[in-house]
Amino acid sequence: MTEPLPGAPRVAHRTCPLCEATCGLTVTVDGPSGAVRVRGDDQDPFSRGYLCPKGVALGELHTDPDRLRAPLVRRGTGWTEVGWDEAFDEAGRLLAPLLRDHGRDSVGIYLGNPVVHNHALSLYAPVLVHALGTGYRFSASTVDQMPKQVACGLMYGTELSVTVPDVDRTDYLLVLGANPLVSNGSLLTAPDLPGRLRALRRRGGRLVVVDPRRTRTAEAADEHLPIRPGTDALLLAGIARTLLAEDLADPGPAAPHLNGLDELRAALEPFTPEAVAAATRVPAATVRRLARELAAAPSAAVYGRIGTTTTAFGTAASWLVDVVNALTGNLDRPGGVLWPEPAAGSPNTAGEPGRGRGVRIPGSRRTRVRGLPSVFGEFPAAALAEEIDTPGPGGERLRGLVTVAGNPVLSTPGGARLAAALGSLDAVVSVDPYLNETTRHAHVVLPGPSPLARSHYDLVFTGFAVRNTAKYSPPTLDRAQGEPDESEILLRLACAALGGGVTPDELDDLTAAATARRICADPSSPAHGRDPLELLAAVGHRRRQDRLLDLMLRGGPYGDGFGAKPDGLTLDALEQAPHGLDLGPLRPRLPGVLRTPSGRVELAPPQLLAEARRLADHLAELTAAPGGGLLLVGRRQLRSNNSWMHNLPLLAGGSNRCTLQLHPADAARLGVADGRPVLLRSRTGELHATAEVTDSVAEGVVSLPHGWGHDDPGVRASVAARRPGVNSNLLTDASPLDPLSGTAVLNGIPVEVVATRPHTAGADA
């Protein structure tokens, strides 16, 4: 922040924390009024001025009167605002006895999506988890990208070794189940994807979108293929099989690093273009053509997102995306898919390059009720409700829950059951700035500061970005007197859970010391072999997340190694570059990036071959009984952010409509008219919605966005309550999961739609 003249506006630069695009923002704070104005930062080397309406709304988020400024404690049926000391005392009074008397597994924790957008939370959530000592860890990952992490973990050796499509250099981009023109990209950090995809087509590249809806991205593409929901794995298997059958497969420079080509070939045998065509509604000739085009393009990248991961075959689809990239010679090549090399936080830049322990799938623990395996240390979010409301023979169950930046009542399957279960808990402690549909069941709510009043570094999304970049933003605005940062909140909560005996500063020192020891022991680090105390002394002027970050940056792949490489990266250097640093385009990283025991890319690990067999069985079932009923899919909206930000006037209203989209032919058949109420029923739930008749959804497909349903009177969101919408996760089912990843099936849900009021044709024309 430049020191302003008294009363003059202050200008600061920072990264938007709201989605994965990581846009650079220029924030102007008016001197006398303190009013905040947000624009795109033209000098950010990555986003070059781009931003979306949500970024602009950060100002309204800052001033939203419904955003909590002080902790709340439940007293009787109401809330009391309390001081921070009292709030942590209360949290300790509630949690410590449960942990002591019923064991560590009697308290669970749920980490929501914003944790990964906030380095204070992502660095200190593990400290809190460790202090709780619970095996009952849940997160939004198992309603999101976990299948991709499982597939890439098995293939490349770490759960964060996800390949990223090189959108800026590719000649051909095949997008499945993603709508980056609206979502701004996911597992694909690239500010201004609309502009980047326009540039792709301007340079003669081809964009093909596979989606049961004709999305904005599909509209902007060369070709749109309206697939039957839930069948992307079959389409990809058909493409991969064609590549092998027609001798089009040529892995290129990656070839010497691949294991399992023969096993893969055998596993793909059942997926002929004709067989998958009937199941996917993508014609056999198109399956063959896609394979040929991908093979023939100078470079090509296949990319799949939510529509591919949150399905019953999410891990198989995620695997086959990378299989097709490998078979067409696009794995690890510019214009294909590549691994980023972030400045901090990646397990594939640490340890012995090229080989490692790999990942353990399935995990070693099982949920109590359904016996579902853990995945990378966590349990499926879809199992949370049952672990609360289904006691074991000795009465064992979850009795307490900590939520951090999440809203599982709206985000995970079976929201009604979860809401009821939360109401039965002895202790719910939520770290969240809003009383939402989940935190309204809390006993203690601990709100972090406005995003503008905290420091920011993208520890997670630099690991999924199309360029290597690094940017640090200090707090733009001061926190209110006594208002703690979120690292402080998690540390104090950890101390409360430990029942005393350690202070937040001591716990933080232990955390920093562990980080320093890890760096010194890491053969890839420029600080390898040094004394951890020396590292700690070098960052001794910093505290909390910024101390950990400085350690990680200096000990990371671009780091100064605490003097070993004087030109290397430090947090000091980032502070001198408020618009951020460009560290260059992605580069090929094979074989050094691998952490598999074999030191090879595993194209056919046994767990994924088993998924291929399950997929072949599914194909046989679909062929025998195609099923003609309606299938529900989701959709995201530009001015919405999962279940929150609906309370900001800049974003509320307009095109953000929680409507049930259905095709005119289906509408006519069902006697449903545009704007009319419908009843929507699935195997597990029902709800009322308003119909929106549009041919942007394929026949046989209906679409409802998730994250709505703000009519719960316990929620404090006065703007959102005016247009509450409905919770689409009342319809999704907690039972069928993608087995390896424990990820919920949120797309392709069989539903029935009934017009709820008699309707005369033409009445609404």
Least distance between ligand SF4 and beta carbon 576 (Å) = 23
Least distance between ligand MGD and beta carbon 640 (Å) = 5
Instruction: Please identify which residue in 24, 55, 92, 112 interacts with ligand MGD, judged by CB under 6 A.
Output: 112
The count of other CB atoms within 10 Å of the CB of residue 752 is 15
Least distance between ligand SF4 and beta carbon 165 (Å) = 18
Instruction: Please identify which residue in 20, 44, 105, 144 interacts with Mo ion, judged by CB under 5 A.
Output: 144
Q: Strand, coil or helix: what is 50?
A: coil
CB 688 within 8 A of CB 714: no
The stretch near ligand MGD (CB under 6 A) out of 22-30, 229-237, 590-598, 665-673 is 229-237
Instruction: Please identify which residue in 19, 291, 405, 494 interacts with ligand SF4, judged by CB under 6 A.
Output: 19
Q: How far apart are the first and last CA of the chain?
A: 56
- 728 lies in the binding site for ligand MGD (CB under 6 A): yes
Binding mask 257-296 for ligand MGD (x = CB under 6 A): ----------------------------------------
Instruction: Please identify which residue in 258, 268, 306, 375 interacts with ligand MGD, judged by CB under 6 A.
Output: 306
- 594 lies in the binding site for ligand SF4 (CB under 6 A): no
Token pair recorded at residue 412: 């995970």
Q: Strand, coil or helix: what is 689?
A: strand
- 36 lies in the binding site for ligand SF4 (CB under 6 A): no
In DSSP terms, 473 is beta-bridged to 456
Give the 3-state DSSP-derived string for 618-664, with helices as H, strands as E and coil as C.
HHHHHHHCCCCCEEEECCCCCCCECCECCCCCCCCCCCCCCEEEECH
Q: How far apart are CA 681 and CA 688, in angstroms?
A: 9
CB 236 within 8 A of CB 611: no
The stretch near ligand MGD (CB under 6 A) out of 153-161, 307-315, 556-564, 605-613 is 307-315
Q: Which is nearer to ligand SF4, 330 or 473 (CB)?
A: 473
Q: Strand, coil or helix: what is 736?
A: strand
- 594 lies in the binding site for ligand MGD (CB under 6 A): no
- 405 lies in the binding site for ligand MGD (CB under 6 A): yes
Q: How far apart are CA 111 and CA 119, in angstroms?
A: 13
Q: Which is nearer to ligand MGD, 464 or 644 (CB)?
A: 644
For the CA atoms of the chain, what is the radius of gyration?
25
Q: What would you measure as the largest C-alpha separation in the chain, in angstroms?
A: 80
Instruction: Please identify which residue in 135, 230, 373, 484 interacts with ligand MGD, judged by CB under 6 A.
Output: 230
- 54 lies in the binding site for ligand SF4 (CB under 6 A): yes
- 633 lies in the binding site for ligand MGD (CB under 6 A): yes
Q: Strand, coil or helix: what is 616?
A: helix
Nearest-CA neighbor of 586 among 731, 465, 763, 481?
Answer: 465
Q: Which residue is nearest to ligand SF4 (CB)?
A: 55
The stretch near ligand SF4 (CB under 6 A) out of 49-57, 129-137, 570-578, 596-604 is 49-57
- 345 lies in the binding site for ligand MGD (CB under 6 A): no
Instruction: Please identify which residue in 21, 94, 120, 300 interacts with ligand SF4, judged by CB under 6 A.
Output: 21
Least distance between ligand SF4 and beta carbon 54 (Å) = 4
Name which of ligand MGD, ligand SF4, Mo ion, none residue 176 binds, using a CB cut-off of 5 to 8 Å depending on partner kind.
ligand MGD
Q: Strand, coil or helix: what is 79?
A: strand
Q: Which is nearer to ligand SF4, 330 or 647 (CB)?
A: 647
- 433 lies in the binding site for ligand MGD (CB under 6 A): yes
Size of interface with ligand MGD, in residues (CB under 6 A): 64
Q: Which is nearer to ligand MGD, 303 or 562 (CB)?
A: 303
Name which of Mo ion, ligand MGD, ligand SF4, none residue 21 binds, using a CB cut-off of 5 to 8 Å depending on partner kind.
ligand SF4
Q: How far apart are CA 68 and CA 74, in angstroms?
A: 14
Centroid of chain to Cα 189: 12
Q: Which is nearer to ligand SF4, 19 or 287 (CB)?
A: 19
Write the CB contacts of 181 (distance below 8 Å, at least 6 apart in sequence): 193, 194, 197, 215, 216, 217, 220
Write the CB contacts of 462 (distance below 8 Å, at least 6 apart in sequence): 22, 189, 340, 342, 343, 344, 345, 468, 469, 470
Q: Which is nearer to ligand MGD, 441 or 600 (CB)?
A: 441
Q: Which is nearer to ligand SF4, 55 or 526 (CB)?
A: 55
Q: Which is nearer to ligand SF4, 14 or 417 (CB)?
A: 14
Q: Strand, coil or helix: what is 410?
A: helix
Q: Which is nearer to ligand MGD, 212 or 526 (CB)?
A: 212
- 20 lies in the binding site for Mo ion (CB under 5 A): no
The stretch near Mo ion (CB under 5 A) out of 139-147, 189-197, 509-517, 536-544 is 139-147
**Structure letter (DSSP) for residue 172:** E
> Which CA distances in Å does 189 have to 168, 184, 196, 337, 353?
12, 8, 12, 13, 25
- 748 lies in the binding site for ligand MGD (CB under 6 A): yes
- 16 lies in the binding site for ligand SF4 (CB under 6 A): yes
| Location of structure tokens 């102007």 | 28
The stretch near Mo ion (CB under 5 A) out of 141-149, 623-631, 647-655, 708-716 is 141-149
Nearest-CA neighbor of 729 among 384, 443, 441?
Answer: 384
Name which of Mo ion, ligand SF4, ligand MGD, none residue 16 binds, using a CB cut-off of 5 to 8 Å depending on partner kind.
ligand SF4
Q: Which is nearer to ligand SF4, 215 or 515 (CB)?
A: 215
Instruction: Identify the helix (H) or strand (E) that includes residue 40.
Output: strand 36-40
CB 724 within 8 A of CB 657: no
Pairing of strands 743-745, 677-681: unpaired
Where would I find the beta strands (DSSP E) of 246-382?
258-259, 301-304, 337-338
Measured at the alpha carbon of residue 209, what is the angle toward residues 204 and 214, in degrees to the nearest 5? 120
* Residues within window 168-227 making contact with ligand SF4, judged by CB under 6 A: 184, 191
Instruction: Identify the helix (H) or strand (E) that includes residue 499.
Output: none
Least distance between ligand SF4 and beta carbon 191 (Å) = 6
Least distance between ligand MGD and beta carbon 67 (Å) = 8
Tell me if the bond preceding 362 is cis, omega within 30° of 0: yes
Instruction: Please identify which residue in 25, 227, 234, 678 interacts with ligand MGD, judged by CB under 6 A.
Output: 227
Q: Which amino acid type is present at position 537?
A: A
Nearest-CA neighbor of 441 among 428, 426, 460, 459?
Answer: 428
Instruction: Please identify which residue in 22, 286, 407, 703 interacts with ligand SF4, judged by CB under 6 A.
Output: 22
Least distance between ligand MGD and beta carbon 705 (Å) = 8
Do you know the residue count of the chain?
765
- 176 lies in the binding site for ligand MGD (CB under 6 A): yes
Q: Residues interacting with ligand SF4, by CB under 6 A? A: 16, 18-19, 21-23, 51-52, 54-55, 184, 191
Q: Residues interacting with ligand MGD, by CB under 6 A? A: 19, 112-114, 118, 140, 143-144, 176-180, 182-184, 186, 210-213, 215, 227, 229-230, 232, 305-308, 311, 404-408, 411, 431-434, 436, 448, 451, 486, 633-638, 640-644, 706-707, 728-729, 732, 746-748
Q: Residues interacting with Mo ion, by CB under 5 A? A: 144
